[in-house]
A and B are shown apart, each in its own frame.
Chain A
Amino acid sequence: MLPTSDATKGKRIIPGTPVFDGEQARSGYALNAMCYAFNSAELREAFVKDEEAVMERFNLTEQQRDAVRKRDILAMLEAGGNVYYLAKLAGILGLNVQDLGALQTGMELEDFKAALLAHGLTETRNFLSEKAA
């Protein structure tokens, strides 16, 4: 997932967890700039109509275009994508964060959701009544 060179550069490796640092921000700039622009409904429509034209307009790298064409989230991350911006692209593609989770972990969507629900935990404390008394 992370480039193997990260270890040799002395960067800390957290398994399965891309750390969006300056290197990622730099290599991912065009992809993230396109996604940031998806705050505009107009640009979202333009992407749906002709995604190649929008990728061209934002000057995405070939690696980034390929990742977007394949709807390959892990490849988008590897090409410098940041999930806060990619989430806007995911919205256009009709994918929510559970869909993204399933796609990235290779799990079935229902299994990914079930794993979250398996925590099934609610813990509540309320001392406000003490205060009133």
Chain B
Amino acid sequence: MSKIAGGIFTSHVPGIGGAIAKGLQQDPYWKPFFDGFEPVHQWLAAEKPDVAVVFYNDHGLNFFLDKMPTFAIGAAAEYRHEDEGWGIAFQRPFEGHQDLSWHIIEEVVASEFDPVTCQSMLVDHAVAVPFELCWPGKEAFPLKLIPIAVNTVQHPLPSPKRCYNLGQAVGRAIESWGGDEKVVVFGTGGLSHQLEGGRAGHINVDYDKFCLRNLAPDPEALLQHDTLDIVELAGSQGVEILNWIAARGALRGSVRELASNYHIPISNTAAATVLLENSDKVHA
């Protein structure tokens, strides 16, 4: 049986990739954000997960408006990042786990979800930046990737409840996998930020703290708002919290927060990093 050891939730601002490329981790502007990864590094070194299942949104590298899936699951042997328009391309490839990808696809479709399946898929900064943050350096990433893209770009977006339920279905699928892989689940993006319109620069500390407070103990509290409520509260890109909600759904055991870091600003974003532990429930 596969085991989900925990979840890593982090902002994926492209500027973080730029800061990594320039080696600015100790720069006073960036340091408070990068320092939030120390406990994540410790935990990853101890747990050594074999697979990362990453809920994220594509920003126009793999998907365009010609075909915009609400949910898409990667089933490729390898994924790559490429130039997204500003000349940065992370070089390290991401090894896929096709057998587990197809098992997840089988199981979530059996749970009445209808994902697009992708045997060829580029992953953008929303996958690459979290991987660079978690495993800095040049060595090959020490685990395999299964990317799951959620549409947070073109409304109507999937509801928070739907995303949570998808996450739960993915969690059940991983738990039922016959291999002995240890899995870490990622939710990337957020927290509050808005890039466009007269309200550009919008940040909502109260809503962010509400999410951070409830993510581990009471994730269903985050389902009380619909997607447009979240756009109003967290900003039009703050709605990327949908990726966090989906990832949290996959953690079906006894969940507690091991570490969190909330820092404003990174670029136009209220940035956050959260590490959750997922342990087996104790049954009588």
Q: Is B198 positioned at the interface, with any CB of A under 8 Å from its CB?
A: yes
**B197 engages A21 (CB within 8 Å):** no
Which residues of B sit under 8 angstroms from A58, Cβ to Cβ? Answer: none
Which residues of B sit under 8 angstroms from A133, Cβ to Cβ? Answer: none
Inter-chain residue pair count (beta carbon < 8 A): 168
Q: Which of A112, A123, A131 has the most CB of B within 10 A?
A: A123
**B228 engages A12 (CB within 8 Å):** yes
**B59 engages A104 (CB within 8 Å):** no
**A127 engages B85 (CB within 8 Å):** no
Which of the residues B15, B60, B262 comes within 8 Å of A122, measured between beta carbons?
Answer: B262
Q: Give Cα distance in the complex from A35 to B64, angstroms.
A: 10
Which of the residues A17, A73, A98 comes within 8 Å of B235, measured between beta carbons?
Answer: A17
The interface size of chain B toward A, counting residues with CB under 8 Å, comes to 56
Which of the residues B201, B228, B260 comes within 8 Å of A124, measured between beta carbons?
Answer: B260
Which residues of B sit under 8 angstroms from A60, Cβ to Cβ? Answer: none
**B198 engages A22 (CB within 8 Å):** no
Q: Is B280 positioned at the interface, with any CB of A under 8 Å from its CB?
A: no
Contacts A20-B154, A116-B265 given; does A88 touch B60 at CB 8 Å: yes
Q: Give Cα distance in the complex from A70 to B40, angstroms.
A: 45
Which of the residues B39, B201, B232, B262 comes within 8 Å of A14, measured between beta carbons?
Answer: B232
Q: Which residue of chain B has the shortest Cβ distance to A116 in the bound complex?
A: B265
**B85 engages A128 (CB within 8 Å):** no
Q: Is B282 positioned at the interface, with any CB of A under 8 Å from its CB?
A: no
**A18 engages B236 (CB within 8 Å):** yes
Q: A5-17: contact bitstring with B at CB < 8 Å (1 yes, 0 no)? A: 0000000101111
Q: Offer 28 A-B interface pairs, CB within 8 angstroms, sorted by A.
A: A1-B198, A15-B199, A17-B197, A17-B235, A18-B236, A19-B155, A19-B228, A19-B231, A20-B236, A21-B156, A25-B154, A39-B83, A83-B195, A83-B236, A84-B60, A97-B267, A104-B196, A105-B200, A112-B201, A116-B264, A116-B265, A117-B265, A119-B264, A121-B205, A122-B261, A123-B263, A124-B35, A127-B258
Instruction: Enumerate chain B interface residues (CB-CB to A < 8 A).
Output: 15, 32, 35-36, 39, 42-43, 59-61, 64-66, 68, 82-87, 153-156, 194-203, 205, 228, 231-232, 235-237, 256-265, 267-268, 270, 275, 277
